A and B are shown apart, each in its own frame.
Chain A
Amino acid sequence: MKYLILKHYRGNPAPYGDAAPMDQWSPEEVDAHIGFMDDFAKRLEGTGEWVDGQALSPEGTFVRYDGPGRPPVTDGPFAETKDLIAGWMVVDVDSYDRALELAGELSAAPGRGGEPLYEWLEVRPFLDNPTTIDE
């Protein structure tokens, strides 16, 4: 079963503990964090659970169709007012519990002073589970 693990810039529950943004960390703290993420991905490849993952720029723009012959309407970027996705990871695991376990480990990625981030992550199942056959 595949799950999407979503990192949010905001739109998540109230942060736990020190939630200073990454640009206020020391370079060593940033390196430690990124190294943890890379190791995590490598380890999941080793367990056969890795599918994909990507960090995203905080700059997002909402776009919509605005009628025939008209350019699309854009909204923003107003990064400070919206729920933004900071990055995502897709894992292919045997159970929902395993997906939660992995998200839990990811949430403990090191932050300032090497302390766990206690970051909120959202876990969403993919809608592609095979249909058990019966009619």
Chain B
Amino acid sequence: MSAAGGVVDEGLLRTLTPAVIGVLCRRGVDFATAEDAVQDALVSAWRSWPDDPPRDPKGWLVTAAWRRVVDQARSESSRRRREERVGVEPEAGPVTSTDDTLRLYALCAHPSLSPSSAVALTLRAVGGLTTRQIATAYLVPEATMAQRISRAKRAVRDVPLDRPGDLATVLRVLYLVFNEGHGGEVDLAAEAIRLARQVVDLTDEQEAAGLLALMLLHHARRDARRTPAGAIVPLREQDRSRWDTDLVAEGVGILQRALARDRLGEYQAQAAVAALHADARHVDETDWVQIVSWYDELVRLTDSPVVRLNRAVARAEADGPRAGLAALAALDPGLPRYRAALAHVHEKDGSTALAADLYAEAARLATDTAERDHLTRQAARLRSALSSGEREDRPRG
């Protein structure tokens, strides 16, 4: 299972990482030392498993990491104290790794860490990625990422690994990882899904399931959301035959089971919106009325202005552009993507020239290259429609 054909099962290594760190921590090793030792053990595994695959990969990793901890302890001045402590710790029996793993997630997502540090530490300590892989994914030098991770470890050095911690923080960090989903050799979106699956297995919390469903439903549509060149394809124009129906089905199933437990949360409600999009074979079959009602739930749960903005756009679809414009008029024009939303609804309302200006303005404010290009293209499309309309002396609207 682990190294057939001389190839190390990287997924297996990564899956085992948090459990092995958990075992070491329970034997009295501090988190930073345990994490370093497991990274070293992973590197050894990469080298030796192709020629000599272990029968018990987890046991192998624990042994290798433990040896590393002991070597290090021997070489330090605090050797005696450490060895005494290690000496009195009971050897781990049969491993029930589940609790350890969840605590490890919570530690890596600790509120004392900045978002980027929490993400980096999570990817390394529970994701089992190497520093180089994480650095590549974030387009920063490896030395910078190494420092970011060691600072993060120092920041949580004195945080005991004995409480489950705040699951909401863990989910937020996983969602950050998911949204990074590009660049480097590691697909961070897939990685976030893998980690979210573990969290779902470890908890009985509906929001974890909601987040997993949300990720799966977005991931299912990923290939259709961009052209091969990376340009944004708006929902209306997406080739729905390219949506991954297996992932949609899985996401919808997970969501339905979560919703049945009747403890609604933000991720479940967002997943419900995503499920309604995924459910429509054609954009005109989209159940916008139900989407608006889910946005109402989201407004109630989060009171987020961004949610209100999305709700206004959904209202334009459900109740017509005038209803959408009225909803937008109640919002702060300084919101991210406000002008893009306004442009979209004005276009639906037939105000082509105004929409073109708003698209151009939105493009100037965009913070994302693909989004800026998309909005520029929208402005250009409307303007060329306008000028050809003028030439034919047949104004549109």
Contact = CB atoms under 8 A, between A and B. Distances in A.
Interface of A: 2, 44-52, 92, 94, 125, 127-135
B116 A48 contact: yes
Contacts of B270: 134
A53 to B, nearest CB: 11
Contacts of B151: 46-48
Contact of B148 (A48, A128, A129): A48
B218 interface: yes
Contacts of B368: 127-131
B140 A92 contact: yes
A130 B148 contact: no
A127 B369 contact: yes
Contacts of B273: 134
Given A47-B148, A48-B120, 19 more contacts: A45-B141, A46-B151, A48-B117, A48-B145, A50-B140, A50-B141, A51-B144, A92-B138, A94-B115, A125-B367, A127-B366, A127-B368, A127-B372, A128-B368, A128-B369, A129-B368, A132-B306, A134-B273, A135-B225
B239 to A, nearest CB: 14
A45 B143 contact: yes
19 contacts: A45-B144, A48-B117, A48-B120, A48-B145, A49-B144, A51-B139, A51-B141, A92-B116, A92-B138, A94-B116, A127-B366, A127-B367, A127-B368, A128-B368, A129-B367, A130-B180, A134-B310, A135-B225, A135-B235
B147 interface: yes
Interface in B111-143: 114-117, 120, 138-141, 143
A28 to B, nearest CB: 30
A130 B138 contact: no
Interface string B294-325: 00000000000010001000000000000000
Contact of A47 (B147, B182, B225): B147
A45 B179 CA distance: 25
Contacts of B277: 135
B327 interface: no
Nearest to A49: B144
Q: Which 9 A-B pairs have the closest CB atoms?
A: A48-B148, A135-B235, A127-B369, A129-B367, A94-B114, A48-B147, A130-B179, A50-B144, A131-B368
A52 B141 contact: yes
B334 interface: no
Interface in B206-254: 218, 225, 234-235
Nearest to B219: A133
Contacts of A129: 367-368
B73 interface: no
Contacts of B180: 130
Interface string B240-277: 00000000000000000000000000000010010001
Nearest to B236: A135
Given A45-B144, A48-B147, A51-B140, A130 B181 contact: yes
Contacts of A2: 139
A127 B375 CA distance: 14
A47 B139 CA distance: 16
A71 B138 CA distance: 39
Contacts of B235: 135
A47 B143 CA distance: 10
- Among B139, B310, B372, max chain A CB count under 10 A is at B139
A61 to B, nearest CB: 27
Given A92-B116, A125-B367, A130-B368, A135 B140 contact: no
Nearest to B181: A130
Contacts of B367: 125, 127, 129
A2 B144 CA distance: 13
A54 to B, nearest CB: 13
A131 B145 contact: no
B386 interface: no
Contacts of A133: 179, 218
B371 interface: yes
A53 B376 CA distance: 31
B200 to A, nearest CB: 19
B144 A48 contact: yes
A86 to B, nearest CB: 23
Contacts of B114: 94
